[in-house]
Every structure is written in C-alpha cells, then in structure tokens.
Chain A
Amino acid sequence: MKDERDNILQIKKVNKEFTIEGNTLQILKDINLDIKDGEFVSIVGASGCGKSTLLKMIIGLHSITGGEIVVAEGKNGNSATRIGIAFQEARLLPWFTVFENIEFGITKALSKAERKEQVERLIELVGLKGFEKAYPRQLSGGMQQRVSIARALVADPDILLLDEPFGALDALTRINMQNEILEIWKKKKKTMILVTHDIDEAIFLSDKIVVLSSRPGEIKRIVEVKDSRPRDRSSSNFVYVKKKIFKEFFDETDIDVEYYI
C-alpha cells in the first residue's frame, strides 16, 4: 500500500520556541511529517498546542527554531509551490466589500474582466451571491469565514492551509462547507492541510490525521483513513477511527507514531 506520489511538503525535525519576557517556551517539538501532493491532511490537538503556529511556519510567517520545512518545486510551469491560507480569524479588510476582499487575494496580474470572472466564480462557490457589495461587519461570522476561504482560493494555491475555518459556523452550514471543501479538493486536486478540533470533521475529510499532544506539541500519532469518499459518519469504521483518536487525548501514555487501519 505504499503511496508513490511525490512529497509536496516535508516537515523535518521541526522545533518551535517562543521567548516571552526572557522565558523560552517550547511550543512544538520534533515535528516530522511528509505530505504528498494532493493529500488531505488534518491536524487535531487541544487549543494552544501549536497548530496555528505550525501553519504559520509552513507559510513563512513564523521563523523555525530548529529543523526545516521543505517545499517541493512548483509544477505546471510555476517557479515555486504556492501556499495559501485561511486564518483562524477571517482577517478581512473592513473597508473592502466582499467582492474587493476576495479580489485582494488575486496574486497574478490579470485584466479587470478576468479578475471579475474569478471573483464571481468564488462568490458562487462559497454561496455568497448577492452579498458582493456588503462590508464585513454586515456579515455573520460564518459568512466572513467563507469570504476568507474564497480569498485564499482565488489565487489558486497548490497547498491550502485551513486554520479552523468552520469554527464560527453552525452545525448545518459546517457540514455544507465540509462538503464544499471536499468538492474543491477533488476537482482541483489541491493539497490541503486543515487544522481543526472537530474529530468528526477530520475523519470525514482527511487521508491522514495528525494528532498533536500539548506543551510541547508533539506528534502523538498519525492516523490514516482509507475509506472512499463521501464517508458515512455513522459507518462502523468511522466510529472506530473516532474512538481511536479520542483515546489519544485521554490516554497520554501511548506514543505509537503510526497507526494503520
């Protein structure tokens, strides 16, 4: 069952320390993770264990204290692998409308008509038609989060980092968005790295679930899910995997690195 795809991202022995007022705090310890092109990977862990920090290191917003993160060379004629992110908070520009905020995500030089077409396509995709001219403060938290995802998608990145993107959504919208993300992933064959604290969500979407421990954040276990999609949340294997992951959080002694189903 060896996966022959190329690694698009390799996290090698990565450590992260923050120094606050002279105190050095180890946040992440010895993180090793290979992510294949087109893979859907979820990272689960308690709040504060360093999930956002890991994503920020991948995209270059945080320095790496030790180890290295290797990003593969670009494909399809791009010089580099492009990484996009939807932050944990929507982080929209309050003075831009929905349309302008998504347009702000475009990184290529495009004509005005092309920009318009791309933005409209994404507005449709995230279900915000009719809200083009609304300002962020006129939107609910969940709608803002969708604008943020659209802004990340409009640049068509090779790797998309999603930091708890559905946290602000109600249960129904959440499931809708999960289905939509799955569609985008299938259609575009993007590599996706999703941070979440929703284990159901992780199992529903991912090829691989990385379970992080707390203080310092270490990889406790990597769980692979091989069921075909769309997955039935009540299937026996789904529930089985869920139990496995739950066990990780309440049984700190188990330190197996990999677990195959």
Chain B
Amino acid sequence: MVKKYVGKPAKRIIEFIIGILAPLILLLIWQLAADNGWMNKSVLPSVKKVVETGIKITASGKLPGHLGASFERVLIGFAIGAGLGLILGILMGLSPFLHKFLSSLVNLLRPVPMIAWIPIFILWFGIGEITKVFVIALGSFWPVLLNTISGIKSVDTKLLEVTKVLNKNKITVLTKVILPGAIPSIFTGIRLGIGAAWSCVVAAEMIAATRGVGFMITYARETAKPGEVFVGVIIIGVIGLLIDLVVRRIEKRLLKWNTEPKS
C-alpha cells in the first residue's frame, strides 16, 4: 500500500516524459535544420521565429479572431452533424427495418471524402457560411452515426431478458439499458466526430472563406509569411489535442461504472 503511494506519481511523471519526448525531438531537429540552413528560411522558419510570430498575432488579436470564427463553425456544424447522427443512429440501431433500408445508402455515401463534397455544396449553397457548416456537419455525422448504431446493436440480450422478466416498459429499456450500454461506443463516435469537424473546418476555410484558421494559413502562404503558416498548422494540432482531452475527461466522468478501479 505504501509502495503504491510512492510509486504512483513517479510513474505518472515518467509516462508524461515519455509522452512528450517525440514532439521534443521533432522540435530539436527542426531547430537544427533552421540553424544550419538545411532548408530555405522562406520554406522553414526557425522555431524562435514561429514562436515570435505566434505571440505577435495573438497579441494583435489576429489569431484569436480567426480561431473564434473557426470555433463557431465547428460548434454549429458539429452540433447539427452529431445530433442527427445520434438520432438516426439510435433509430437505425433499434429498427432492423430502417437499418436494412438505409445501410446501402450509408455505405455508398460514407466513403466519399469530405473534400469532394465541398464543390457540390458550393454549387448548391454558394461560398457562404452554410457551405462550411454543412461540410463540418457531414464530417462529424458519419462517425457518430456508425458508432451509435454499433453501440445500440451490441446491447447485451441477457440484460434485455432481465427487463422482460421485470416487466419494464420500452422507455425504461431504452434509457436504462440500451443507451447506457451504447455510451462507450457513442463517445468513440463523438471523439472521432469532433476530430473530423475540426479537420473539415480547416479544409473548408482553405477553399472558401475570408476568416478562420484555414483561411489564415492559405492567405499567409500566398502573402509569403511562412511564420504564420506554421503557427496556424501547430495551433490546429494543439486544439485538436485539447478537444480530445476534454472529451475524454467527460467520458471518464460519465462512465464511472466502467473506469472506477476494482476494489
């Protein structure tokens, strides 16, 4: 018991160090490459330059402005896509008929890459906000839909027998047995969906936007500001990571029954 108390934080620190080692090595190689002029400065700015640029455009409000625009789109698009994915997923998971009826359509549309939808949405909705929100919604729709279906379908039939024996009504069965059982799978879908939403917003903004991180990167490249390009790319990665962390936290809270240590 005592050993466990001493061992735990130490183990955490070691795990943390191992975890950040690879990014640090990459950073080191990058700095070496810039210092020794292995690559042209206009192609690969130094780490220092990128950090300075990052601070500068954060202070001036430029980066927060673009980030805010992207966030808003992600939030709206994800809410729509994940919401629809969740509802349709539950329905398709519960109804074998609906599942049979829609699964060929789903399997036909799902492999189409998001990038390929953008021209179609531009044709339909123009270059406005609707196109971008639509792309994000569709991007987050698929993972949520598929994981919700599989979560609902994998319900333990032995637990369903328990509800039958106890004369539980359909709503109780759904809310107390089927949905809780599907939540781990639904969360996987939500994590993948948010990730997809975040990549979609950048893709959409690179093609058609005047604001947002994607636009900032494209515009910086066109105006020969490699520092800003790198800041943009790094911030996309960092935010993707943070979102994932937050969702995992929430998941852990909600799934206490699945994660709490055994006694």
Q: A135-B256, A135-B260, A138-B260 are in contact. Are A91 and B159 (CB under 8 A)?
A: yes
Q: Does B208 contact A (CB under 8 A)?
A: no
Q: Number of A residues whose C-beta is below 8 Å from B?
A: 22
Complex CA–CA separation, A89 to B176 (angstroms):
19
Cα A99 to Cα B161 in complex, Å, equals 20
Q: How far is the CA of A94 from the CA of B180 in the complex (A)?
A: 9
How far is it, in angstroms, between the C-alpha of A203 and the C-alpha of B180 when the chains are bound? 42
**Are B162 and A91 in contact, with the CB atoms below 8 A?**
yes
With A84-B165, A107-B167 in contact, is A95–B159 under 8 Å at CB? no
B38 contacts partner chain A, Cβ-Cβ < 8 Å: no
The one of A61, A89, A93 in contact with B180, judged by C-beta atoms closer than 8 angstroms, is A93
A96 CA / B168 CA spacing, docked (Å): 16
Contact across chains for B158 and A105 when beta carbons are under 8 A apart? no
Chain A contacts of B263 at CB under 8 A?
Answer: 134, 138-139
Q: Is B110 an interface residue (CB 8 A)?
A: no
Q: B132-171, CB under 8 A of A: which get 1 and which 0?
A: 0000000000000000000000000011011011110000
Assuming the A-B contacts A93-B176, A93-B177, A93-B180, are A61 and B165 also in contact, with contact meaning beta carbons closer than 8 angstroms in the complex? yes
Contacting pair A87 B258 (CB below 8 A): no
Query: Quick one: closest A residue to B158, CB to CB?
Result: A91
Query: In the bound complex, do residue B180 and residue A95 qualify as a contact, i.e. CB atoms below 8 Å apart?
Result: yes
Task: Quote the shortest CB–CB distance from B154 to chain A (angstroms).
Answer: 13
Q: Which residue of A lies closest to B179 (CB)?
A: A95
Q: Is the interface of A mostly helix, strand, loop or mixed?
A: loop
Looking across the interface, which residue of chain A has its beta carbon closest to that of B183? A95
Q: Is B262 an interface residue (CB 8 A)?
A: yes
8 Å CB contact of B257 from A85, A96, A104 = A96
Could you tell me the distance in whole angstroms from the C-beta of B252 to the nearest C-beta in chain A? Answer: 14
A51–B159 alpha-carbon span in the complex (Å): 20
**B260 nearest CB neighbor, chain A only:** A135
Chain A residues with Cβ under 8 A from B166's Cβ?
Answer: 104-105, 107, 155
Interface size on B, residues (CB 8 A): 21
| Cβ B258 vs Cβ A94 within 8 A | yes
Kindly state whether residue A128 has any CB partner on chain B within 8 Å. Answer: no
Q: Does chain B have a CB within 8 A of A59?
A: yes
The residue from B158, B167, B257 contacting A95, defined by CB atoms under 8 A apart: B257
> In this complex, what residue of B is CB-closest to A85?
B165
Bound-complex Cα distance A134 to B258 (A): 12
Q: Write the chain B residue with the least CB distance to A161.
A: B165
A186 close to B (CB within 8 Å):
no
Known contacts A94-B257, A138-B262: does B161 contact A104 (CB below 8 Å)?
Answer: no
A16: min CB distance to chain B, Å: 17
Q: Is A233 an interface residue (CB 8 A)?
A: no
Interface residues as binary, B182-223 with A (CB distance below 8 Å gives 1, 0 otherwise): 010000000000000000000000000000000000000000
Report yes or no: A61 in contact with B159, Cβ–Cβ below 8 A: no
* 8 Å CB contact of B158 from A59, A87, A137: A87
Cβ proximity bits A100-131 to B, threshold 8 Å, 1 near / 0 not:
00001101000000000000000000000000
- In the bound complex, residues from chain B placing their C-beta under 8 Å from that of A91 are 158-159, 161-162
A40-68: which residues lie under 8 A (CB-CB) from chain B? 59-61
- Give min CB distance, B170 to chain A, whole Å: 15
Cβ-neighbour of B262 out of A60, A84, A104, A137 (below 8 A): A137
Question: Which partner residue on chain B sits nearest A83 by CB separation?
Answer: B165
What residues on B are CB-neighbors of A89 within 8 Å? 158
Q: Considering the complex, which residues of chain B in the window 203-262 have a beta carbon less than 8 Å from any beta carbon of chain A?
A: 255-258, 260-262
User: Which chain B residues numbered 25 to 82 have a C-beta less than 8 Å away from chain A?
Assistant: none
Q: Nearest chain B CB to A228's CB is how many angstroms away? A: 34
Minimum C-beta distance from A102 to chain B (A): 12
| A167–chain B nearest beta-carbon distance, Å | 16
12 more A-B residue pairs beyond the given contacts A91-B158, A91-B162, A136-B257, with a C-beta to C-beta distance below 8 A: A61-B164, A84-B165, A85-B165, A87-B161, A93-B159, A105-B166, A135-B260, A137-B257, A137-B262, A138-B260, A138-B261, A138-B263
List of 3 A-B pairs having minimum Cβ-Cβ separation, nearest first: A95-B180, A95-B257, A135-B257
Q: Could you pull out 9 A-B pairs where Cβ atoms are within 8 angstroms?
A: A91-B162, A95-B180, A95-B181, A107-B167, A135-B257, A137-B258, A137-B262, A139-B263, A155-B166
